[in-house]
Amino acid sequence: MRGQVDAFTYDALPARIVMGAGKRKDVAAEVERLGCKCPLIVTTHEQAALGDDIARQFDVGSTTLFAAAAMHTPWDVTQRALEAAQSARADCVIAIGGGSSIGLSKAIALRTKLPQIVLPTTYAGSEVTPIIGETRDGQKHTQRTLEVLPEVVIYDIEFTLTLPVSLSVASGLNAIAHGVEALYAADANPVTSMMAEDGIAALAESLPNIVQSPDSIEARRLAQYGAWLCGTCLGTVGMGLHHKICHVLGGTFNLAHAQTHAVMIPHVVAYNAHAASDAMLRIARALNARHAWTGLHELAVKLDAPRSLETLGMPESGIERAVELTMQNFYSNPRAPDADALLHMLRQAWRGVPPEPME
Ligand code: NAD
């Protein structure tokens, strides 16, 4: 079942993807390929040692490490990183880490036009999107511009071996959510739909194996492949209700990014169930399940993923506010906004009960 091939527009994004265990050894060659010599290396504080390790591929004194990337790309950190780039006369940025390190690298690229070489260590997918979210004066502002799309992505599977199982699960479900929403996007096209379905299937197959054997290179390889496919979908087509609601929940109640995605995706799929039947069939097929929403819920149970907003720290009193904010500037979504249904959905997700398809 391929789905209907209807009229479509497909904007492919430029990408150089290098994938494989041990591929971090190619970083210096990729920097040279871009005609650069003095990289600024960015990581989080916890991942600074990975930055030091990459720096050894370069002449002593030619690299600068900035190890202070933080969640949601705070502006004060970006300012300090920009100063570091300027005083080091950096000619490119190397980011190692998840969405936080990559967000900082994008923020630097936006202001300096420096090329980026990115080595992802989670499944969030930011490395293949032209999207940047930044926080300034307590407000998160997101924009889409090709100026932040990294020039080179090196997926070294070995970097993901240290990703704790709980974060691997949440991050993997975060990636699945990109694929799910791509399948019912208003601007879906046959290429991203193919990538989305294969990406969801790769993650649904590999995540249970990662839970069993976190050191399995095979499982990690398949998960990162799935994350790349789903991230590419996120970068290419528009996202719907799920991404809007996660944005609201993360921004208003400071909930953890990947875990919020993990809790919400089965519920949003149930909300959209009757408005996107072709996408639902493809999601179910990728999950090898009878229905898309039960398949996602069963996968979350199997992975022991977070399933309630309460456990993530959201106050029950915030549910109505979350619905109000979700209704504002509603993203394109197969099912129209319905405040009562959204309220019901969020109450279910808050309690952590299985999702129900809604008329
Ligand atoms: P993250 O980058 O914030 O990482 C979470 C924590 O895990 C950090 O402490 C990090 O150092 C650590 N970590 C990461 N990889 C590790 C590994 N392999 N081993 C051990 N520790 C590791 O997490 P994330 O979920 O990848 O990123 C979330 C951020 O990315 C949010 O700010 C989100 O908005 C953004 N994001 C942006 C896009 C986009 O397209 N712009 C896409 C997805 C996420």
Architecture of domain 16-160: 3-Layer(aba) Sandwich (3.40)
Ligand 1 atom, smallest distance to 171 CA: 25
From CA 183, how far away is CA 195, in angstroms rounded? 9
DSSP 100: H
The answer, yes or no, to whether residue 1 has pLDDT greater than 90, is no
Pick among 1.20.1090.10, 1.10.10.60, 3.40.50.2000, 3.40.50.720: CATH of 165-351: 1.20.1090.10
- Tally the residues of the chain: 359
* Centroid of ligand 1 to alpha carbon of 327 (angstroms): 27
Each residue's pLDDT tens digit, 84-137? 999 999 999 999 999 999 999 999 999 999 999 999 999 999 999 999 999 998
State residue 331's pLDDT score.
86
Residue nearest to atom 29 of ligand 1 (CA): 99
Residue nearest to atom 34 of ligand 1 (CA): 72
Is the Cβ–Cβ distance between 231 and 317 less than 8 Å? no
Phi, psi values for residue 19, rounded to 5° = -125, 140
Closest by Cα among 273, 307, 303 to 183: 273
Site to probe by mutation for ligand 1, drawn from 24, 71, 173, 228 as the one with most ligand atoms within 8 Å of Cβ, is 71
Is the Cβ–Cβ distance between 278 and 6 less than 8 Å? no
* Half-sphere exposure in the Cβ direction for 338 (13 Å, CA): 13
What residues does ligand 1 touch, defined as CB less than 6 Å away? 44, 46-47, 71-72, 97-101, 103, 121-122, 124-126, 129, 131-133, 159-160, 162-163, 167, 171, 234, 257-258
* Centroid of ligand 1 to alpha carbon of 123 (angstroms): 8
CA dihedral 172, 149, 99, 297 (to 10 degrees): -20
* Centroid of ligand 1 to alpha carbon of 344 (angstroms): 30
Is the Cβ–Cβ distance between 120 and 98 less than 8 Å? yes
* Centroid of ligand 1 to alpha carbon of 274 (angstroms): 33
The answer, yes or no, to whether residue 303 has pLDDT greater than 60, is yes
Phi, psi values for residue 158, rounded to 5° = -60, -30
Ligand 1 atom, smallest distance to 72 CA: 32
Each residue's pLDDT tens digit, 315-351? 999 999 999 999 998 889 999 999 999 999 999 999 9
From CA 208, how far away is CA 142, in angstroms rounded? 33
Q: Which residues touch 60 (CB under 8 Å, ≥6 apart)? A: none
* Centroid of ligand 1 to alpha carbon of 290 (angstroms): 32
Of 5-19, 40-54, 96-110, minimum mean pLDDT range: 5-19
Residue nearest to atom 17 of ligand 1 (CA): 163
Q: Could you count the other beta carbons within 10 Å of the beta carbon of residue 51?
A: 25
Residue 1 burial by CB count (10 A; 0-12/13-18/19+): exposed, middle or buried?
exposed
State residue 6's pLDDT score.
79
State residue 330's pLDDT score.
84
Is the Cβ–Cβ distance between 36 and 10 less than 8 Å? no
* Centroid of ligand 1 to alpha carbon of 165 (angstroms): 14
> Taking the domains of the chain in order of start, what are their residue ranges?
16-160, 165-351
Residue nearest to atom 39 of ligand 1 (CA): 126
Closest by Cα among 316, 324, 304 to 348: 316
From CA 38, how far away is CA 345, in angstroms rounded? 50
* Centroid of ligand 1 to alpha carbon of 103 (angstroms): 9
Query: What's the mean pLDDT in 266-280?
Result: 97
From CA 211, how far away is CA 213, in angstroms rounded? 6
Residue that wins the pLDDT comparison between 148 and 359: 148
Q: Which residues pair with 253 in a beta bridge?
A: none
> What's the one-letter identity of residue 282?
R
Ligand 1 atom, smallest distance to 258 CA: 25
State residue 139's pLDDT score.
79
From CA 46, how far away is CA 267, in angstroms rounded? 33
The answer, yes or no, to whether residue 267 has pLDDT greater than 80, is yes
State what percent of residues in the chain have pLDDT above 70.
Answer: 98
Each residue's pLDDT tens digit, 51-98? 999 999 999 999 999 999 999 999 999 999 999 999 999 999 999 999
* Centroid of ligand 1 to alpha carbon of 277 (angstroms): 32
State residue 359's pLDDT score.
64
State residue 91's pLDDT score.
98
Which pTM value belongs to this model? Answer: 0.96
From CA 205, how far away is CA 228, in angstroms rounded? 15
Interhelix angle 190-212/277-287, nearest 10 degrees: 30
Residue 268 to residues 13, 194, 237, 349, Cα–Cα distance (Å): 28, 21, 18, 10
From CA 344, how far away is CA 319, in angstroms rounded? 10
State residue 138's pLDDT score.
77
Site to probe by mutation for ligand 1, drawn from 167, 245, 255 as the one with most ligand atoms within 8 Å of Cβ, is 167
Residue nearest to atom 5 of ligand 1 (CA): 98
